[in-house]
Amino acid sequence: MAAPIQARTAAQTAAPEHVREPVLAYIGLGANLGDPAASLAAAMAAIASTPGVTLTARSALYASAPVDAGGPDYVNAVVQVHTVLTAPDLLARLQAIELQAGRERPYRNAPRTLDLDLLLYGDAHITSPRLEVPHPRMGERAFVLLPLAEIAPQRVPQDRLQAVAGQRVNPYP
C-alpha cells in the first residue's frame, strides 16, 4: 500500500543520520621506483574513483631527493578531496591503493612503490595508534609543503615554508 503523502514528504526532507557533510581533506603522494609519474597518475585515478570521495584539486608533480635514504629522486604531489568517508576509512582506502600499486608489476620482482599519506582531514586533530592527523612529519617536508601550498596556501604557514627552503624540491620535468 502506498504511504500517506504527508509521511512520504517528511521522510524525503529529513536527512538520514548516516549522511555526513563532506570534509575537505589533503593527501600526499610519493613514488620513487618504476615509473613514479605513472604510479602517481594511477593513484590519483584510484582516489578519484573511490565511492564517497571527489577529487577537487591536484598539484603539479615535484621531484625531491630522498630524505634519510638513497635511491632515485621521488616524484611528489598533493591532492585535495571532498569526502564523506571517515578519516580511518579514507586511510584504509589509501592503504588498499598502495597495496594494489605494489602488486601491479610489469614483470617478476619489478620495483614499484607508492606512498600515500593523509595530511589533513578538515581541521581534525586525530591521535590514534594507526592514524595521526595532521600528518606528524608534514611540517618538516618541503616535498609536502610546496605542493600543498600550491593548492591550499591558507593551510601552509609562511614560516614553515621558510624553514624548509633549504630542501631540494624542483618541478618535475
- Point out which residues bind ligand AMP (CB under 6 A): 91, 115, 117-118, 130-133, 135
CA angle centred on 46, ends 151 and 61, rounded to 5°? 40
- Our answer to whether residue 112 is catalytic in this structure is yes
Q: 24 or 131: whose CB is closer to ligand AMP?
A: 131
Angle of helix 87-103 relative to helix 36-48, nearest 10 degrees, comes to 140
Q: 91 or 146: whose CB is closer to ligand AMP?
A: 91
Find the Cα–Cα–Cα–Cα dihedral 99, 102, 28, 117, rounded to 10°: 40
The DSSP result for 119-157, as a single string, is EEETT--EE-SS-EES-TTGGG-HHHHHHHHHH-GGGS-
Q: Where are the beta strands (DSSP E) in 84-168?
A: 115-121, 126-127, 132-133
Catalytic pick from 58, 112, 141, 155? 112
- Our answer to whether residue 155 is catalytic in this structure is no
CA angle centred on 157, ends 61 and 149, rounded to 5°? 20
* Least Cβ distance, residue 134 to ligand AMP (angstroms): 8
* Least Cβ distance, residue 169 to ligand AMP (angstroms): 18
Do residues 156 and 145 touch, judged by C-beta distance below 8 A? Answer: yes
Catalytic pick from 103, 108, 130, 159? 103
- Our answer to whether residue 115 is catalytic in this structure is yes
Q: 7 or 136: whose CB is closer to ligand AMP?
A: 136
- Our answer to whether residue 35 is catalytic in this structure is no
53: left (phi over 0), alpha (psi -120 to 50) or beta: beta
* Least Cβ distance, residue 156 to ligand AMP (angstroms): 16
Q: 33 or 131: whose CB is closer to ligand AMP?
A: 131
Catalytic pick from 58, 93, 117, 141? 117
* Least Cβ distance, residue 48 to ligand AMP (angstroms): 19
Indicate which residues carry an active-site annotation: 103, 112, 115, 117
